[in-house]
Structure 1
Amino acid sequence: MELRQAAAFVVTADEGHVGRAAARLHVTQPTLSRQIAALERSLGVPLFDRTRRQLALTPAGEVFLAGARELVRRADELAAAAQRAHRGELGVLRVGFVQSATFAALPRLLGAFRAAVPHVRVEVTAMTTLRQVDALADDRIDAGLLRPQFTVPDLRLRTMSHDELCAALPGGHPLARRRRVSLADLADESFVFYERDSGPAVHDTIVGHCRAAGFSPRIVQEAVDVQTIVALVAANLGVSLLITPTPHTDEKAVVYRPLVEKLPTWEMSLAWSVHNRSPVLARLLESAPA
């Protein structure tokens, strides 16, 4: 049995007339009659009673019609789903992100994507930049929001934002009363810092800025994520230097102050592999805000 034969049978049964069914199917009457006859041979039963003047279904035809309708409907749905998947409107999008992306870049990116293609399932995973680079190469994620510190040959990047470094201070700290602080103002402070193993480029660059300002930061506590750093600053364990944007906090607990120094900004980039031909990824790149 072929799908086109089942579809022809359903139309013929609905019309109750071979001529009208043939016109609806855009085939000749002999062609349609041959399709129905071939279907009956493959089933081994007659579907139409040809002894009557008016076309009528046999008992076998009545039973077969209900299933044939469902078969044709499902075939149409599958065809439509395949076409939507080809257009990137169905499927799964896997996105990695550095934690600082959660405060602006990730909501902007996925919000625009969801508005464009609401039926794609999105899977997000927090990952360091280094882990994202490996995951993109191994096709474990489709796209990443990361802080590029080096060039990877098969990776493409699109800049999402240029973010500045700021000071995070306990709410009651004397420097919290200033509109801006300089790195030199922090020379004698205890620091809560990014854990180097989770992001050596970020860690080393910030330490380098401090040394350029004339001191090495006295690191008393390290943390993997920015929320933990902010919590430790709020607990008055020390101050920190964070890449903006930063988590929202009560200013009685933690305040953020821009730096006096004009330091290089940190790039937040959308990254993907040139070898990934996923239609869903293509839709993400189309919808990504500039």
Structure 2
Amino acid sequence: MLDLGQVRCFVAAATESNFRRAAALLNMTQPPLSRQIHLLEDSLGVKLFERIGRTVRLTTEGRVFLADATRLLSLAEQAESTVRRASKGKTGRVRIGFTGAAGYELIPELLVAATDVLPDIDVVLLELISVAQIEAFSANAIDLGFLRPLPSRQNLEFLLVDEEPLIVALPKGHALCRHEQIELKQLDNQPFIMHSPTHGKYFYDRIMGMLATGSVTLNVAQYIDQTPTILSLIRAGLGIGILPASAQRFHYDNVEFRMIAGNSVQAEMSMAWRSDQDNPAVTAFRHMATEYFAKKARA
């Protein structure tokens, strides 16, 4: 097994063609340097230098060995730099779960910021609904999640990164389209395309709570998990729905949106992570994201 210290002495002597100058370059005296080179020659079983007065010249074997020795030292320095950067979270892999709503703007903008601050971190994206992200944390399939905050038995921590109002989505030509804002009482007994109480639990709970404050009798036409499908059914005239304001970005034709008068219920987007995770890359990315969202909120 080659000794890197001996190899370093050899490369310095080969570069300087002089043991004294090579020793000075390595901040050592000449005798220890000569001894290290002799040990290297004994280990390899070849002569690496010809001594000519105060100078040295590489043998044929020395010239052959120099190229590999130089590469070896370069790889060793690279490995040392890589492990140090990894320990500081500068390199590594981060698996990020995100909902469709987060994927429209939040995730792309965050990744642009990450490219500037943490260019050597490899990001793996997984589009998952919020409930599936909670399960993915349990299976150790994601490191960070951008989701609607849901209760969990796991040791998850949440940071609010965005919030938006809930609004009414209507098929074009619906009677309620005549109003600039919709009163909750006007939704009584309307056919609803409603979020699923299981996979769409976050929105189901918030919408049900909001409708209860207006004593609205719910008439559910369909339970659906995903916002695009809800919008498709509304466009077909099969009912109305309550969705986060970001749903307008899907630009469905024949669907109109109205604000809810006096509504203070917001749809939250949170960044989640396991409190017991110890991956430096994940920690570095989370801190970068936290600072990014703080700056965005101040702006």
Matched length: 290
Q: 1 CA distance for matches of 2:22 and 2:242?
A: 75
Q: Does 1:136 align with 2:137?
A: yes
Q: Does 1:280 align with 2:267?
A: no
**Alpha carbons of 1:107 and 1:137: their partners in 2 closer, same or farther (altered >3 Å)?**
same
**Alpha carbons of 1:120 and 1:233: their partners in 2 closer, same or farther (altered >3 Å)?**
same
**Residues 1-290 of structure 1 mapped to structure 2, 5 A cutoff:** 1-50=2-51, 54-150=55-151, 152=153, 154-250=155-251, 252-288=253-289, 289-290=293-294
| Counterpart residue type for residue 155 of structure 1 | L
8 Å CA contact 2:228–2:250 kept in 1: the answer is: no
Q: 1 CA distance for matches of 2:63 and 2:115?
A: 45
8 Å CA contact 1:207–1:216 kept in 2: the answer is: no
Q: Percent identity?
A: 33
Q: TM-score, normalised by structure 2?
A: 0.87
Q: 1 CA distance for matches of 2:8 and 2:177?
A: 75
Q: 2 CA distance for matches of 1:74 and 1:190?
A: 67
Query: Which region of structure 1 is more displaced relative to structure 2, 243-252 or 142-151?
Result: 243-252
* TM superposition shift of 1:60: 0.7
Q: 2 CA distance for matches of 1:171 and 1:84?
A: 56
| Counterpart residue type for residue 269 of structure 2 | M
Q: 2 CA distance for matches of 1:264 and 1:152?
A: 25
* TM superposition shift of 1:33: 0.9
Q: TM-score, normalised by structure 1?
A: 0.90
**Other structure's SS at 2:221 match:** strand
**Alpha carbons of 1:7 and 1:256: their partners in 2 closer, same or farther (altered >3 Å)?**
farther
| Counterpart residue type for residue 265 of structure 1 | Q
**Other structure's SS at 2:220 match:** strand
* TM superposition shift of 1:52: 6.1
1:44-98 Cα offsets, whole Å, 9 max, x none, are: 1111112666311111111111111111111112222222222222111111123
**Unaligned stretches of 5+ in structure 2?**
295-299
**Other structure's SS at 1:118 match:** coil
| Counterpart residue type for residue 18 of structure 1 | F
**Other structure's SS at 1:271 match:** strand
**Other structure's SS at 2:249 match:** coil
1:206-260 Cα offsets, whole Å, 9 max, x none, are: 2343344333332223332212222222232221111232251447432222211
| Counterpart residue type for residue 180 of structure 1 | Q
Query: Which region of structure 1 is more displaced relative to structure 2, 109-118 or 34-43?
Result: 109-118
**Alpha carbons of 1:251 and 1:136: their partners in 2 closer, same or farther (altered >3 Å)?**
closer
8 Å CA contact 2:18–2:54 kept in 1: the answer is: no
